[in-house]
Amino acid sequence: LVTGAVSPKYLAGPIGIVQVVKISFKTYGALEALYWLGFIFLNLGFLNILPIPVLDGGHIAFSLFEIITKKRIKMKTMERLIIPFVVLLIGGIIFITFHDVLRIVKNYF
């Protein structure tokens, strides 16, 4: 994705994840489906601790900054940092969900 070698439309959200796990369960059994779920949950946990303001890692980064500098971050500053990432996150969710639904519709027709 970063280098442009893979299209972002190949990302999968909750709908796509359910499809992958369902296919994995039907094809390889429950154990393989559980492996996939574990892999997905580990990746989600890793992404959640990245120091992006809207995620938990961002809150940890804010807290560490306040501990190190012994100064509180102004609410206005936090809003200016968080709001653009909220917009990006919601936009990404809409984009990924759209492509998940599009894949399902294409498979039925």
- CA angle, 46 then 13 then 61, to 5°: 30
The 10s digit of each residue's pLDDT in 86-104 is 999 999 999 999 999 998 8
The ranges assigned to domains in the chain are 8-108
C-alpha dihedral sign at 52, 58, 61, 66: positive
Pick out the chain residues at pLDDT < 70.
Answer: none
Contact by Cβ (8 Å): 99, 17: no
Give the pLDDT of residue 108.
Answer: 82
Q: What is the pLDDT of residue 107?
A: 83
pLDDT of residue 20: 85
CB 100 within 8 A of CB 16: yes
